[in-house]
Amino acid sequence: MMKQLIDKLAEENRLTREEYIDLIENRNPETCEYLFDKARKVREKHYGREVYLRGLIEFTNYCKNDCYYCGIRRSNPNVTRYRLTKEEILDCCNEGYLLGFRTFVLQGGEDSHYNDTDIVDIIRDIKRLYPDCALTLSIGEHSLESYQAFYEAGADRYLLRHETADSNHYKTLHPPNLSPEFRKQCLQELKEIGYQVGSGFMVGSPGQTIENLADDLLYLQELQPHMVGIGPFIPHHDTPFAGESSGTTELTLFLLGLIRLMLPAVLLPATTALGTIDPMGREKGILAGANVLMPNLSPIKVRNKYMLYDNKICTGDEAAECRNCLEGRMKLIGYNPVVDRGDSKMIQEGKNNV
Ligand code: 5AD
Ligand code: FES
């Protein structure tokens, strides 16, 4: 029964809300294995056993937002705040380039210290110095005009997780000044501008139901993003959700598998959060259909200050080793990190339809 639904998803790339609920609710170790096997085949058809790497540069941990789940939320007074200068950001890119990264992801809190001109200036410099690299922004909600300006300056991709597709659930994760409608509008605008767009959500966030997850999948089915970032929710001790429990590896992997079948050529990271709740989480994520890793490229001195959740991995002194560590970890499971921009095959196959 469940296998038939998985077959249907693999063939038609879509299911109904009831079918997603049914699949998630009734999953068991056997259906999981069946799903992962199919997901790996689809992944290999489009991407072989290559793993795309993104160098993540966490350039500011100032944030004007106050999301209840996030460790760098505005009202956490125990964060040592930092901003990287443009020169420090370019140093990260230089180091990353030498390590073989051909995508840089600029991620930060929503920090009004940087106006559009500052961001445009950083984008232009990175693209001038590294014209063969893709540049991804992950800097939150902005106006259409700002998104347009960043795109014209050379940004190729934009990550903005929708966090949850259910408005009521959204309101329990965010303060009233953040709206689920505006979040979705931003994603639509980013797509229309021409960015390769990534959305996604946390698995096991407080109050999340199976129905919410089905709605998240339906939302992705409708949005048709080029990238999907999902990882387990992990509590941070200085947030209102300090006492909540983490999402599980098991459910995160199941959803990765479903997303691979729904969006066959999607760029799907095995996230740091997954590696944090499970020492083999990233390997398991790749084996469930993921094809991207996003190791940290931020300078060692700031890595332990970008703590969205507790116990984040790769924040110690040994963090410069991530590149080699991941190479070794992937080789051990028969996968191969590559020096490549790692664009979505959706685009190369001419399916970049908005
Ligand atoms: N646990 C897991 N993921 C988190 N994020 C923020 N806080 C947490 C947390 N406590 C995720 C959000 C955000 C991304 C940058 O990190 O989904 O979009
Ligand atoms: Fe960072 Fe292994 S990936 S130390």
Q: Where are the alpha helices (DSSP H) in the chain?
A: 2-12, 17-25, 29-47, 86-99, 116-129, 144-153, 167-173, 180-193, 210-223, 249-262, 272-277, 281-287, 300-303, 322-332, 345-348
Per-residue pLDDT, 318:
75
- For residue 348, tell me if it sits in a domain: no
Residue-wise pLDDT for 184-219, tens only, equals 999 999 999 999 999 999 999 999 999 999 999 999
The ligand with the least distance to the CA atom of 72 is 1
Per-residue pLDDT, 353:
42
Cβ–ligand 2 distance for 321 under 6 Å, the answer: yes
Cβ–ligand 1 distance for 163 under 6 Å, the answer: yes
Per-residue pLDDT, 350:
54
Per-residue pLDDT, 77:
98
- For residue 349, tell me if it sits in a domain: no
Per-residue pLDDT, 352:
47
Q: Which residues of the chain have pLDDT under 70?
A: 319, 347-354
CA atoms of 234 and 117, how far apart (whole Å)? 35
Cβ–ligand 2 distance for 314 under 6 Å, the answer: yes
Per-residue pLDDT, 316:
84
- For residue 84, tell me if it sits in a domain: yes
Pocket test for ligand 1, best of 309, 310, 311, 312 (most atoms within 8 A of CB): 309
Pocket test for ligand 1, best of 66, 67, 69 (most atoms within 8 A of CB): 69
| CATH code of the domain containing 143 | 3.20.20.70
Indicate which atom in ligand 1 lies nearest the CA of residue 308: 7
The ligand with the least distance to the CA atom of 294 is 2
CA-nearest of 337, 247, 333, 345 to 36 is 333
Indicate which atom in ligand 2 lies nearest the CA of residue 321: 4
- For residue 221, tell me if it sits in a domain: yes
- For residue 346, tell me if it sits in a domain: no
The ligand with the least distance to the CA atom of 202 is 1
The total domain count for the chain is 1
Domain membership of residue 199 as a residue range: 2-341
